Structure 1
Amino acid sequence: MTVAREGYKSARQKFKPVKIGLRPEHPLDVVQMDHTRADIIVVQEHTGVTLGRPWITLCLDVCTRMVLGFTIGFDPPSATVVALTLTQAVLPKGQWIGNHDISLMWPAHGLPRVLHTDNAKEFHSRALRRGCEEHGIRIAFRPRGSPHFGGHIERLMGTLMRRLHALPGTTFSSVAQRGDYPSEKRAILTLEALRRHIALEILGPYHNEVHSALGISPLAAWSSSFPDGVSPRLPFDPARFTIDFLPYEMRTVRRDGLHLFGQVYYDTVLNSLITPEKSRLRVKYDPRDLSTVFLELPSGDYAKIPYADLGTPPISLWEHRQSTKIKGKAGRASINHDAITYATKEQERLLNEAIRQERSRSGRRMPPSQARPTRDDTPAKIPEVDETTAWKTEFLS
């Protein structure tokens, strides 16, 4: 009856027996990653213009339920987003916490043994697979039609979204629940403010409250697994690990530096790379912060290249694209179509007038009444002279 009324998927979720899912014994044995659209609208920092609902990507340790990393942005799920989230999950978070002015512990880090995901295309990318193989991470996909295998991270996302419903600008979980609440008018949080709010929610209540499946808090479960003197497995070169997963563009080193996304980057290391052959080098970038790029040198090392103008504020790739789009709309809105139409017609009239004057001077295709007389170049015919009239000529032959 449920299949007939609601479909097979609904009936399966209600009645199909569920087998035991993932049961890792140690932290970092299995790490899950997934995406969701945030139930809140954010605004631009300087203008207050509504930007929409950002995407959130979460990375969760199944054994301890600790959040290893997360990213927030407007770029839809992609291999780049997955790589950036995995990079934050693996590396220590001390610098990240300091940059966001948060005074809470976030000890979770380390290389996972298995990255467990659904079958979305961003998890099948060649770059992600190659990077994971290089660092000893195995990618495992959920069985198709078995959503309970990803239930751990889906419950976490549901918990975070419900807590966002108390913030101004929330869209709630559905249109029915939203009712007539004016989400766009009430929106006041910027993307950075939302990022910090979610970090505080994770590092505060979520990590320190008792988890129903563990009987203790996720932070306590993690700490008991790594006593003093024991630390998770880390990449041999953490800085290189970050760069290995970054996207890149091929660029030529010009005399004034590197050009990427409308910005110019310069460092003295580029002086020896300027060649007349215009050879192209790989330039890697972090979409979250375009203030610095990483140039792959012929030796295989990377050089950190900052903005040529050090006073330029950092900006994300999404913010750059959004700014370009807004400028394009403003430019199109400033077009005076009437003035352009008048000028075009006047230019056409002037050109036609010049053509008519030229034809008038040359006498081509002019009406008979306006045509100028032309010289007859045919030789004049000499009249015949007979003997009776010969005496009338002035010169007798």
Structure 2
Amino acid sequence: MDQYVVACRRRGKEWADRHFRPVGRGPEPDKILDIVEADHSRAHVAVIDDVSGVNLGRPWVTVALDRYSRLPLAVHVHFDGQSLTAVMQALRQTMLPKDFLKELFPDLRLAYGASGVPVAYFFDRGSDFDNDHIVDVGFTFDIRMDYAPVGCPEFKGRIERFFRTMHAEVAHPLPGATPPLLVDSNAREGQVNLR
């Protein structure tokens, strides 16, 4: 019997369609700033106020990532949730020069040359990305705003991989990290590892 038919009967048509669909590649950029992927993720670490000791919760991280070089063009850490303000900060950071990095890290030898107006942004369909204000930014700076289909994170695979690496390699080793299994199963805010 056909594997697709078996999967439809066992797990439903939607699951079978996702599992057996042909895998393709999205548009490939030719140079830096051709396509910039942007998204939010909840950090897998709790922030504790160093003065009062109060658990402030897990911050959000909004990132804009160049699809060609996989270079992060903007990283905005905040407690605003998935908001238009966070998206606008990321868009702003993407376009501005990164000269401040030399001041923060004097031993940095390489110039961070990725800044400027991108050709296209690639977002998901969240209301923080898909609204009139983002469209206005696109018209003002002549930027094409593209959107991934609903429920298809694989269309933004590079930024999804960036977040996965950020959580596994940066957040989880830190004191205050939320255990990975608890994060994936909707852990409560207070469940953190304070090593």
Q: Provide TM-score, normalisation by structure 1.
A: 0.42
> What is residue 180 of structure 2 aligned with on the other side?
173
Post-superposition offset of 1:20: 2.0
- Contact 1:32 1:62 (C-alpha < 8 Å) held by counterparts: yes
The reply on whether 1:161 has 2:167 as its aligned counterpart is: yes
Of 109, 113, 130, 2:136 maps to 130
Between the two proteins, the alignment pairs up a number of residues equal to 184
Q: 1:157-189 CA deviation, whole Å, 9 max, x = no partner? A: 11111111111111133229899xx954617xx
In structure 2, distance between residues paired with 1:7 and 1:167:
40
TM-score of the superposed pair, with normalisation by structure 2: 0.82
2:70 corresponds to 1:65: yes
Whole-angstrom CA distance in 2 between matches of 1:74 and 1:102: 29
| Structure 1 position 121 matched with structure 2 position 127 | yes
Paired residues of 2:7 and 2:13 also in contact (CA < 8 A): yes
Question: How far apart, CA to CA, are the structure 2 residues paired with 1:97 and 1:172?
Answer: 34
Report if aligned partners of 2:177, 2:193 keep a CA contact under 8 Å in 1.
no
Partner of 1:186: 194
1:259-270 counterparts in 2 under 5 A? none
Counterpart-to-counterpart distance in 2, 1:35 and 1:8? 30
* Residue number among 92, 97, 100 corresponding to 1:92 in the alignment: 97
Cα deviation digits, residues 65-94 of structure 1 (max 9, x gap)? 111111011111111110001111111111
Structure 2: any 5+ residue segments left out of the alignment?
1-5
Higher relative contact order (CA 8 A, sep 6+): 2
Residues in 1 aligned to 2:141 and 2:162: alpha-carbon distance in whole angstroms: 27
1:105-116 mapped onto 2 (5 Å cutoff): 105=110, 106-116=112-122
- Is residue 20 of structure 1 aligned with residue 25 of structure 2? yes
Indicate the residue corresponding to 2:52 in structure 1.
Answer: 47
Alignment pair present for 1:75 and 2:83: no
Displacement of 1:45 in angstroms is: 3.0
Structure 1 distance, partners of 2:79, 2:160, is: 20
Q: Which residue of 2 aligns with 1:31?
A: 36
Q: Percent identity?
A: 33
CA spacing shift, 1:176–1:96, aligned 2, 3 Å = closer
Give the structure 1 partner of residue 3 of structure 2: none
Q: Shift of the alpha carbon at 1:39?
A: 0.8
* 1:170/1:183 contact within 8 Å kept: no
Q: Give, in whole Å, the separation in 1 of the partners of 2:98 and 2:176.
A: 29
* Aligned twin of 1:198: none
Please give the alpha-carbon distance, in whole angstroms, between the structure 2 residues aligned to 1:176 and 1:114.
32
Please show how residues 343-354 of structure 1 align to structure 2 within 5 Å: none
Say which SS state the counterpart of residue 113 (structure 2) adopts: coil
* Bigger helix fraction: 1
Cα distance in 2 for residues equivalent to 1:32 and 1:65:
9
Query: Which segments of 5 or more consecutive residues in structure 1 lack a partner in the other structure?
Result: 188-397
For 1:6 and 1:54, how far apart are their aligned partners in 2? 36
Structure 1 position 12, deviation (Å): 4.0
**2:180 aligned counterpart, secondary structure:** coil
Query: CA-to-partner distance for each residue in 1:277-302, whole Å, 9 max, x for gaps?
Result: xxxxxxxxxxxxxxxxxxxxxxxxxx
Q: Distance in 2 between matches of 1:167 and 1:134?
A: 41
Q: Which of 143, 149, 165 matches 1:143?
A: 149
Partner in structure 2 of residue 287 of structure 1? none
Name the CA shift for 1:103/1:82 in 2 (closer, same or farther; >3 Å).
farther
- Partners of 1:80 and 1:3 in 2: how far apart? 42
Per the alignment, do residues 4 and 39 of structure 1 end up closer, same or farther by CA in structure 2, a change over 3 Å counting? farther
